[in-house]
Amino acid sequence: MTPKPPKPVVLVTGASRGIGLAVVRILLDDLDAIVVTLSRTRTPELRELLSKHISTLMVIDCDVTDETALATAISTVSKTYQRLDGLILNAGTLGELKKISSPTLSLADWKLTFDVNFFSLVQTLNICTPLLKSSIFGGRVIFVSSGAATGGIATWGAYSASKAAMNSLARTFANEEPDIVSVAVRPGAVDTDMQGVLRATGPGAMNPTDISRFIQMHEAGTLVKPEDTGYVIASLALKAPKSLSGAFVSWDKEECEEFRRPVQKAEE
């Protein structure tokens, strides 16, 4: 009897809800992977997944800004699997919505935003590089970025700057580690908790034209589904080619077409 091929091992940060949770579901249910998650909380949805995938899902409670906890979590991954085939850096925060000139601007909030969206990535990459190099499939890192990385929406200063720094980190890491494929992905305006926060707090903080666009997308039902952009992210973590390494790609553009969720044919 031919032995079954080994399953790829993928680490996902910020996996308790939204895009991260969708990615975990897809990796487990559709792409036959072993998944390790890092998140500050265990949502009911994540607990349900754990109960269904006891042998292929490891859930680690971890705040990615806690350097000691993050190092310990990744050490657990190393001891358990001795390799890492995919790393999805999804943990992120929007930060406060204030103009840079605001007299109540919090520099501490900017620093926290960068701790989550950028510096935690640096530490994770630093520790995970040997594991990614040990991959039997070819190590891959997917940075969940944002269109804000190349934009400049008023009051989004910390978020936009941290995502721009993320893209720069992805390019640099790709050049430093040519054997590891590194791709930054724009997931689109996704129907997640972040959009809910924007609708609740944006009208009092953002320019009317900016916040109205997000509200209209929600009302029209045109926000991206987490499972749609999540499928692209999950697939890239397993199959992204070297030709994309260092690139910033959009989940719905031509460069990602082959990684999208297969279209389900309607029953006749």
Number of neighbours of residue 127 by Cβ within 10 angstroms: 16
Rg (alpha carbons) of the chain, rounded to whole number: 18
- Tell me which amino acid residue 169 is: L
Find the catalytic residue in 16, 135, 159, 235.
159
163 is catalytic: yes
Number of neighbours of residue 253 by Cβ within 10 angstroms: 9
Q: Please give the DSSP secondary-structure letter assigned to residue 102.
A: -
159 is catalytic: yes
Find the catalytic residue in 145, 146, 162, 245.
145
The per-residue b/e assignment along 54-88, b for 16 or more CB within 10 angstroms, e otherwise, is: eebbbbbebbbbeeebbeebbeebbeebebbbbbb
Find the catalytic residue in 163, 182, 231, 235.
163
145 is catalytic: yes
Percent of the chain that is helix, strand, coil (3-state, to 5): 50, 15, 35
Q: Which positions are catalytic?
A: 145, 159, 163
